[in-house]
Chain A
Amino acid sequence: DGGITQSPKYLFRKEGQNVTLSCEQNLNHDAMYWYRQDPGQGLRLIYYSQIVNDFQKGDIAEGYSVSREKKESFPLTVTSAQKNPTAFYLCASTTAVSTDTQYFGPGTRLTVL
């Protein structure tokens, strides 16, 4: 089955710790995106990548980092510099041709204790 997977589904972190959220896709999509969603809010773009070994900051990149070493994988690290990391994180991917129709993973809910 083709799709996007995110892991873990739920993640708890103590303040001051870095954590990495996984996002993998087997759709052969070129572009991948990370969004953050807070209660009552829309999706806000953290980082995106159009091709391997290249990525751009979104609207709220501070306190986050990413890598794109493989086409299939786009992990997101939430660093201790992120002041309010508790949120629902969604990964998405698109083909280069139809960039706007995004396919989303199931999300990771991160809670900082």
Chain B
Amino acid sequence: EDKVVQSPLSLVVHEGDTVTLNCSYEVTNFRSLLWYKQEKKAPTFLFMLTSSGIEKKSGRLSSILDKKELFSILNITATQTGDSAVYLCAVGNQGDKIIFGKGTRLHILP
């Protein structure tokens, strides 16, 4: 059965800290791995990763994929209170389905 496992499930840090969120997966016919940020309602897209070892960056956020070890990390440097959210990892397979993890709830203390 396809699955996506995120860790930790929740995390509380102080503003300015750097955090690393983890996502491991077991998915048949992997096509891509995606990261989303969900604040109150709709998840918003952050990154899509398809190739191993190529870091994607957007401001203070970055992510990398390891297809050999079947995991990805999402890094957030110099965290701000606005980074508080649930971060969702999802994996798409060749069958056009996307499997989501349970998310990591991140809370940034001022």
Give the interface of A toward B (CB within 8 A).
31, 33, 35, 40-45, 48, 50, 58, 90, 99-107
Contact = CB atoms under 8 A, between A and B. Distances in A.
Given A105-B42, A107-B42, A100 B100 contact: no
Majority SS of interface residues in chain B?
Answer: strand
Interface residues of B, number: 23
Nearest to B102: A42
Contacts of B99: 45
Given A42-B88, A42-B103, A100-B98, A106 B41 contact: yes
B103 A99 contact: no
Interface string B96-110: 111111110000000
A61 to B, nearest CB: 13
